[in-house]
Structure 1
Amino acid sequence: MTHTGAELIAEHLVNEGVPYAVGLCGHGDLGLLDGLHSYRDEIKTISVQHESIAGFIADAYYRVSQQPIATFTSCGPGSANLPVALGSAFMDDSAFLAITGNVATSQFNRGPFQETGRYYQADFSSVVRPYVKRSFQAARPEQLPLMLRQSFSLMRQGRPGPVHLDVPLDVFVEETDAELDDPEVWSTDSRPQPGASEEELDRIIRLIEASDRIVIVAGSGVAGSKGEDALLALAHELRVPVATSPLGKASIPEADALALGATGRNGTFAANRAARGADLVLAFGTRFDDRSTSSWLPGYTYSFPQTALVHVHIDSDELGRNFPPTVPIQGASATVLRQLADRLRGAAMPTSRDDWLDAIAGWKREWEAHVAPHRDATQVPMRPERVVNELRSVLPDDGILLSDVGVHHNWLVQEWETRQPRTFHQSWGFASMGFGVGGVIGSALAAPQRKHVAVVGDGGFLMLPSAVATAVQYNIPATWIVWNNGGFQSIRDQQMSYFGADRQLATTFLHDASGQQYQADHAGIARAMGAEGMTVENPSDLGSAFEAALASPRPTVVDVRVDDSVSLPAAATWELPPLAYPEPSFGWPDA
C-alpha cells in the first residue's frame, strides 16, 4: 500500500497522539494540507492569520499538556514569520514540530518563487537552526519515517525543545511504499529522568548537615520534570525555604509558609535577601540567567562563591556556565529531589535553622507591608497592583494565566500568587511579544475544562490581534486582558532612567501632529472580529468585568486603562553594560 509523503506525516502525527496541526496555508504546504484532509477525522487542522500565532499556540499547548503538537507554514515569508515563536519555545524548554513547506527539489538552485537559496539550495534550515534542537530536510518521501520518529524523540527527551522538518512540495505529493516506525516500539515518548549518584548524594547531604542558612531555588526544570510534589516534600522535610526563578514561578504554591517568591529584578525582597544571605543554595532546573540573578552582580541576588552551590540541571552546558557549582549534577530535577527527600526522611533538623526561618519570615512581612496597601488603591487610572489583585480574586486556582511581554510581565512575576503547578506561563528567555496573545489559544486547547487568561500589553496586542479572530472561528473561550498604558512603557522607563526624562523617543504612543496620546479601541477591535469586548477605566468595575469575561462562552477582550507612571518596587537590579545599573529601591543595602 502506498502513501504520499504528506499522508505519512499526517499518519505519524495521529500515531503520536497529536490532536492538532496549526498553521497557515501557502503554495509550499499545499501537499501537506491534502494529506491532513485525508486524516481530518483524527487530527484537527486549525488555520491562523499569522504564522507566529501558530507557533505560540503550539508552544503554550506543550507548556500546559507536556505533549507536542505540529505547526505548518509555507516557504519564504510564511515560514520566516515562525522564528519568533520558535525562539520562545527553544529558550524556555518547550516543544513542537515545525513543518515548513519548500520549493520542489527539481527547482532547487534555480531561484523559484520564495526559495531561500542565495548560498545553499532551499536553505530554510539555516534560518531556524539557532532556535531548534534539530533541523531535518527530506529530499524524498522515503526519508520521512526516520525523520518523524527521531523528531518526536528529540523534542521530548533531555531538555525539551522544538524540532524543524522542512519538506519540498514534491516530497509531500509523491507516493512511496515506505512504512512508518511504530512509536510504541521505538518509545518516542520515553523521557529518561537521570538522577544523582550515591557519591553525589553523600556530598550534598554533608553540605546540608554543615549549613544553617539553606535556600532551595526552583527553576523551570522542576515543572519540566513534573517535580513540584517532590519539591514541596523536600522543602517541608528539611524546613528549608523555596525561592524560584521567574520562569519556575509556579513550582510551589506561593501561599506556602516556605515560599519566598521569585528572584531577580522583578522578584520579591524575601527571595533576593534570602538567596544572597544563604550559606547553601540547592538549585534545581534553573540556568541562572541575568534577569533572575541581578546580572550576576555579586551580593545583589546571590553571593557565590562564598555561598556553596548544588546545581542540578538536565543540560550539562548549564552547569558552571554562570556560577561555580560546589556539586554539579547533570540530572532531572524531580529525580534528584525525590532522592534527597528519601535519604533525609526522618532526619533531625538542627534548631540552629530556626533563626534563619525567623529572619525570612520577617523579610516577608516587611515586603508585604510595603506592597499590600496598593492592591486596594482606588485611583484612576488604575494602579497595576489593583489590576493583578482583582484578577487573582476571580480566576480559579486551577485557572491558567499567560503573560505576554511588557511592563505588565514584571508586575505579574512579582505580584501574581500561583496556587497550582503549571498555571502561570510566560516567554522568559527570548521574551517574544505575542506569546500571550496567541498562546492563550494553545492553553485553552490543551485544557478546555479550565479558564484561560492572557494579560497582554497594548503594544503586544496590536502586533497580533488576529489571534482573537482565530478564537472566534474555532469557538475558543479565551480571555485577553489588555494592559493599556499607552505604549512600550518598560522601554520608556529605561530611556528615562539611563538617558534622562527628556530623552523619550518611539516608546509612547502619540499622534504625530498634535503630540497627544494615541489609544486604540482594543475592545472595539475585538467586537469587529466577532468577539466580546469591554473597556474598564474605574477600579470598582474591574471585578465584575473579569467575572463576566471568564463566564462568557465566547472569546473576550477586556481593555483596562492602567496608570503608566507607577514604578515596580525593585528588591534587586539588572545591568545593561556599559550603562550604570540602578540600585534596588527596597531593602538595600542590607540592614
Structure 2
Amino acid sequence: MTQTVAQLLVEYLEARGVDHIFGLCGHTNIAVLAALEKSSIRFVNTRHEQIAAHAADGYARASRKTGVVLSHLGPGLTNAATGVANAALDSIPMVVIAGDVPSHYYGKHPHQEVNMHADASQFEIYRPFVKRAWRVERPDHLPEIVDKAFHLAESGRPGPVLISVPMDIFSAEARSTLFDRVKANASAYQKPSIDDTTARTIVKTLLSARKPVMYVGGGILLADAAQELRDFADHLGIPVAHSLMGKGALPDDHPLTLGMTGFWGTKYINDSCRNADYVLALGTRFCEADCSSWEGEYTFNMPPTKLIHIDIDPSELGRNYPVEIGVIADLKQALTVLNRVARELLPQPRGNESLRQEIAANRKQFKSSNAAAEASAQFPMRPERILADVRAVLPRDAFITTDVGWNKNGVGQQFPIYEPGTILTPGGYATMGFGAPAALGAKIARPDRVVVSLVGDGGFGQNPAVLASAVEQNAAVVWVVMNNLAFGTIAGLEKAHFGTTFGTVFRHNDQPYSPNFAAVAKAYGVDSVRIESADQFKPALEHAVSCGKPYLLDVIMENAPVPTAGHWNIMDIYSPGRKVSHVST
C-alpha cells in the first residue's frame, strides 16, 4: 500500500503524540494540510507566521511538549524567523516543518525561492539560531530526519530545529512502511545525572559556607525541577535569587525567595548575591540585565565569591564567571541526587529562621514602597495599580504572558508568581510581539487554566491578528493592553539621556495617539472594553476572566519608568561619565 509522504508524516506525528500544529498555508505545504484534515492533530490556523511561532512557543512552555510549526517557503519562513529565534534564545523545544521549492527546480529560481548565495538555500537562513537545519533531498530520508529533529529539539539544552521539505517530496507516493523503523525508536532518551562524590562535595561546601545563595534560571523550569529545587532550599535553608527566566521556580511568597536580580532587582536582592561567599547556580546563563552588566560592584562579584554551576549546556559553564565546580547534568536528575545526599549529611533540615525573618521584612518594606501607586485612583492608570488589580483577580495557578517594557520588567520585579512555569516571558531575545500570541498557545495547551496576557500597546500592535485565531479556536484568552501611547521604556531612556522622545511616542497632528484596541478587538469578534477610570478596571477584568470567551481590555496607562536601584551599563554608553538614570525628568 502506498500513501503520500505528507500522509505518512502526519501519521508519524500522531504516533509521537503531537496534538497541535501552528501555522499558515502556502502552495508548498498544502499536501500536509490536506493530510491533517482527517487527523487527530488540531491545526491552529494563524494570519501571520510570527504568530504561529510565538503561539507554538507558548504552547510548548505551558504543555511541556515540543511546539510544532508548519510554514510555507521564502517569506513564510522568514516571517516565522523572529518567533523561532525567540524560542531558541529561551531554550524552547520546537520543530519547524517548512515547504520548499520543488527539488527538480533547484537553481532555476522558481517562485519565492531564496537563492542569493546558493541554490535552494532557504534552510541556511535559520542556521544562526536553530540547533540544526535540514533540507530533505529524498523521500526515504525524511523519517530519519524527523525522528532526529524531535530528539535534538528536546535533548540537552532544548531549542528549535528546522526541516525544509521540497513540495514534490510531500506529494510523492511512498510505501506505508516508510516510517516503521523510526516509530520503533524510543521517543525520549535518559538524561545525564550527577555522581554521588560530586554531590557530596557540593553539599558539604554549601553547609560550610558562611553566606551561600542559590541562583536559578529558566533551566529549572525546562527540566521540570521546581519541586526538587524547593526541597533542596528548604532542607539546607539557603535563600534563592532568580533571573527573569527563573521567576516562579520558587514561589514568590516562599520564605526563602529573594527575588529577581540585576537592573530591575532591588538593592537588597543584589547585595545578597554580591556578598555571598558561594553561589550555586542552576540552569542560568547569567544574562547581562540580570547581572548588572557583569560589573562586580552591583550584583555578582566572582571572585571573590565562588561559583558552583550546574547546567545541561557545557558552553554556559565558565562563560561569564569562573567556576570552582562545574557540572554538566540535567537539573531534575542532579537535584534528585543532591537532595538524597543532603539528607544523608544533614538528617534534620536547617531552619535558618533569622534569614527567613530578614527576607520577610525586606519583602514587606518593598511592598509598602509601592502601596500608594498600587492604590492610586489616577487615570491614566498607574502601572502598579494595573498589576496589583490583576494579581488580586487571578487564581494562583493562572498563566501570565508578558511582552516587553513595563509589562515584562515591572512584572519581574513586582508581580508575584505562585506556581512554577506560569509566567511566560521573552527573556533572551526580548521580542516585542511575543506576549499576545504566546497566550493563545498557552490557552490551547491548558484550556482548564486562566490565561492573561499583559502586553503593551506597542507589543500588541505587532500581532493583533492573533485575535482572529483566538475566535476560531474558542480560546478564552484575556489580553490586558497596558497602553501608554508609546514605546514607553525606550521613550524614557531617550528622554533621560538625549532630551527628546523622537520616534518613541505615538502622535497624530501633534497630539498623543493610540488606536482604539477595544474597537479593533470587536471588529475581530472579540468582546472588549476600553477602560475609562481606575475603578472600572478590576470589575471589568473579573468579568473578562469569568466569561469564558476571548476578551480584551484596553487600559490607558501613565508612561512611568519601572523604579529600580539596579545597574545596566547602557546608561554609561548613552551618557559616559554623567551617571544619568533611566528615569526621564
Instruction: Place the TM-score, normalised by the shorter chain, in its bin.
Output: over 0.9
Question: Is 1:543 the equivalent of 2:535?
Answer: no
Contact preservation (8 Å) 2:193, 2:334:
yes
Residue 537 of structure 1 and its aligned partner are, at CA, apart by 2.8
Please name the residue that 1:309 is paired with: 307
Residue 183 to residue 584, structure 1, CA distance change in 2 (3 Å): farther
| Shift in CA distance, 175/265, structure 1 to aligned 2, threshold 3 Å | same
Output the amino acid matched with 1:115. Answer: E
TM-score w.r.t. the length of structure 1 is 0.94
Picking from 132, 138, 146, the partner of 2:130 is: 132
Paired letter, 2:443: A
Distance 2:393 2:2 in 1: 54
Contact conserved, 1:221 with 1:333, CA < 8 A, in 2?
A: yes
Contact 1:92 1:427 in 2 (8 A): yes
* Matching of residues 49-88 of structure 1 within 5 Å: 49-88=47-86
Alpha-carbon distance, 1:144 to partner? 0.9
Q: Against the structure 1 CA distance between its residues 259 and 107, is the aligned structure 2 distance closer, same or farther, given a 3 Å change threshold? A: same
Deviation at 1:169, TM superposition (A): 0.9
Is this contact kept in 1: 2:531–2:554, CA < 8 A? yes
Q: 1:10-47 deviations in whole A, cap 9, x for unaligned?
A: 1111111111122111112122222223xx24111221
TM-score, structure 2 as length reference: 0.95
What is the deviation of 1:373? 3.3
Using a 3 Å threshold, how does the CA distance of structure 1 residues 184 and 372 change in structure 2: closer, same or farther?
Answer: farther
* In 1: Cα distance, 2:218 partner to 2:180 partner: 32
For 1:49, the aligned partner's letter is R
What secondary structure is seen at the aligned counterpart in 2 of 1:33? Answer: helix
Contact 1:196/1:336 (<8 A) preserved: yes
- Whether the 8 Å contact between 1:53 and 1:438 is mirrored in structure 2 is yes
Change (3 A) 1:580 1:336: farther
Counterpart in the other structure of 1:520:
515
Does the 8 A contact of 1:272 with 1:571 survive in 2? no
Aligned position for 2:473: 474
The amino acid of 2:514's aligned partner reads Q
Q: Contact 2:237/2:351 (CA < 8 Å) preserved in 1? A: no
Aligned match of 1:119 = 117
Are the aligned partners of 2:235 and 2:350 in contact in 1 as well (CA < 8 Å)?
no
Cα shift at 1:133: 1.0
Aligned-partner Cα distance in 2 for 1:2–1:574 = 60
SS at match of 1:251: coil
Opposite residue 242 of structure 1, the aligned amino acid is V
* SS of residue in 2 equivalent to 1:246: coil
Identity percentage of aligned residues: 32
Q: Which residue matches 2:282?
A: 284
For residue 533 of structure 1, what is the aligned residue in structure 2? 528
Q: Is the 8 A contact 1:269 1:367 kept in 2?
A: no
177-186 vs 87-96, which moves further: 177-186
State the shift of 1:203 in Å: 2.6
Q: Residues of 2 paired with 1:580 and 1:185: CA distance?
A: 61
1:589 maps to what in 2?
none
Letter in 2 for 1:225: A
Q: Which segment drifts farther, 47-56 or 353-362?
A: 353-362
How do 1:549-564 and structure 2 match up within 5 A?
549-564=544-559
Matched, 1:508 2:508: no
Q: Where does residue 417 of structure 2 map in the other structure?
A: 418
SS in 2 for 1:294: helix
Give 1:363 deviation, angstroms: 3.4
The amino acid that maps onto 2:405 is G
Please say if residues 289 and 568 of structure 2, whose CA atoms lie closer than 8 Å, have aligned partners that are also in contact.
yes
Q: Contact 1:6 / 1:172 at 8 angstroms: preserved in 2?
A: yes
Task: Tell me how far 1:585 sits from its aligned partner.
Answer: 8.0
Q: Which string of whole-angstrom CA distances, capped at 9 and with x for unpartnered residues, describes residues 314-365 of structure 1?
A: 0000001101111111112222222222112272789996665555444334
Counterpart contact for 2:4–2:172, Cα < 8 Å: yes
Q: Structure 1's 123 and 543: CA in aligned 2 closer, same or farther, altered over 3 A?
A: same
Q: Please list every run of 5 or more consecutive structure 1 residues that lacks an aligned counterpart in the other structure.
A: 587-591
- Which digits, 9 at most, give the CA deviation of each residue in 1:270-310, with x for residues without a partner? 32221112111111001001011111011211111111111
Q: Once structures 1 and 2 are overlaid, which stretch shifts more, 575-584 or 247-256?
A: 575-584
For 1:279 and 1:66, the matched residues in 2 are separated by 35
In the superposition, relative to structure 1, how do residues 352 and 376 fare at CA in structure 2: closer, same or farther (>3 Å)? closer
Aligned partner of residue 130 in structure 1, secondary structure: coil
1:3–1:69 Cα change, 3 Å = farther
Residue of structure 1 in register with 2:366 after alignment: 367
Instruction: Report the alpha carbon displacement of residue 369 of structure 1 after superposing the two structures with TM.
Output: 2.9
Question: CA separation in 2, counterparts of 1:182 and 1:416?
Answer: 49
| Cross-structure match for 1:568 | 562
User: In structure 2, how many angstroms separate the alpha carbons of the residues matched to 1:339 and 1:204?
Assistant: 11
The alpha-carbon distance between structure 1 residues 352 and 339, as it changes in their structure 2 partners (threshold 3 A), is: closer
Q: SS at 2:247's partner residue? A: helix
Look up the match of 1:449. Answer: 448
